[in-house]
Amino acid sequence: MSDFKIDLPSAKFKQKAMLTSIVILLVALLCSYIQFNPLVIFTEFHFLQEFFVEMFPPNYALFYENEGVGQSILQTLSMAFLGTIFGGFIGFILSFFAANNIFQLPFLRNFSKSFLAMIRVIPSLVVILIFVIAVGPGSFAGVLTLIVTTIGVFGKLFTEVLENAEDAPSESIYCVGASHVQVIRYSIIPQVLPALISNLLYAFDLNMRAAIGLGIFGGGGIGFKLYMAMRVLHYQDATALITMIVLMLLIVENTSNFLRGKLLGEKL
């Protein structure tokens, strides 16, 4: 009798096959639950064709015929800037109370961390709806929302930056009789200041995108103008506004990346 060897699937292959089968089954169940046919993506392009025909050519005359468009652009920039400045400042202060190497009272430190975590998990769309109800629709509600979201997200980043500061400079200043406040002022802050400013620039970049999205939900700015143009079926105006939004975001992103690179000593 000739010897022969049967190669059975390995345990790792069986595990991957099981996970793949579970994912496929889950996708099929979810599509069935929400009545979504994935084939529509590939077969129903004529709806998109009709939509794009109505959107072109863009009505760029809107920018000099309607003064409100320019004001809405300035509103969006102002919302992003103010949300970054105020939210970043408050998050920076709270990060000192949450950092393990700075604040020595465990109860208040844990409370600060829990507060930042609680703010961070609340979706920005929920926050904007709350402020729209509280103060009414407009840029004020948008600024308040950006402040809250910036505190939650970047308060945590600021805390991590502070906790990653080197201990040697602080210990050296302690040895010459400096107080805890002086150690923070002359050792920790100089170490983390470039990273903090870099994070603020990144926050402004994100807040620009968020300000446009919040405008659709009552936060004012160019996002609200885009929502109204789509709502009244002025698709060519909407295309012009989308073009301006993309241009704004590209300018802000490239400027932010350039400043962060210069600040951190990167060669661009």
Task: Dump pLDDT digits (tens) for 89-99.
Answer: 888 888 878 77
Section 23-41 average pLDDT = 82
User: Is 92 among the domain residues?
Assistant: yes
Lowest mean pLDDT among 195-199, 228-232, 261-265: 261-265
Q: What pLDDT, on a 0 to 100 scale, did the predictor assign at position 50?
A: 60
Lowest mean pLDDT among 54-68, 77-91, 135-149, 215-229: 54-68
Other CB atoms within 10 A of residue 74 CB: 12
> Among candidates 70, 216, 207, which has minimal Cα distance to 144?
207
Q: What pLDDT, on a 0 to 100 scale, did the predictor assign at position 49?
A: 62
Give the pLDDT confidence of 57-70 residue by residue, as tens digits: 777 777 776 777 77
User: Is 8 among the domain residues?
Assistant: no
Is the pLDDT at 266 greater than 60? The verdict is: no
Centroid of chain to Cα 121: 12
Q: What pLDDT, on a 0 to 100 scale, did the predictor assign at position 212?
A: 83
- pTM of the full structure: 0.74
Average pLDDT, the chain: 77
Is the pLDDT at 264 greater than 80? The verdict is: no
Section 182-205 average pLDDT = 76
CA 218 to CA 227: how far, in whole Å? Answer: 10
- Report for 22-26, 175-179, 196-200: range of highest mean pLDDT: 22-26
Other CB atoms within 10 A of residue 153 CB: 21
**Boundaries of domain holding 126:** 62-263
User: Is 54 among the domain residues?
Assistant: no
User: Is 188 among the domain residues?
Assistant: yes
Backbone angles phi, psi at 59, to 5 degrees: -95, 80
Q: Helices marked H in the chain — which ranges?
A: 11-33, 40-43, 45-55, 62-65, 67-98, 106-121, 124-135, 139-163, 167-175, 180-183, 189-214, 222-231, 235-263
User: Is 32 among the domain residues?
Assistant: no
Q: What pLDDT, on a 0 to 100 scale, did the predictor assign at position 1?
A: 47
pLDDT band at 267 (very low <50, low <70, confident <90, very high): very low
Instruction: Write the CATH number for 209.
Output: 1.10.3720.10
DSSP state letter for 138: S
User: Is 9 among the domain residues?
Assistant: no
Taking a C-beta distance cutoff of 8 angstroms, is the pair 138, 147 a contact?
Answer: no
Give the pLDDT confidence of 72-129 residue by residue, as tens digits: 888 888 888 888 889 888 888 888 787 777 777 777 778 887 888 888 888 888 888 8
pLDDT band at 48 (very low <50, low <70, confident <90, very high): low
As for how many domains the chain has, the answer is 1
User: Is 131 among the domain residues?
Assistant: yes
User: Is 7 among the domain residues?
Assistant: no
Section 226-255 average pLDDT = 81
Is the pLDDT at 41 greater than 60? The verdict is: yes
Residue 4 structure tokens: 């022969």
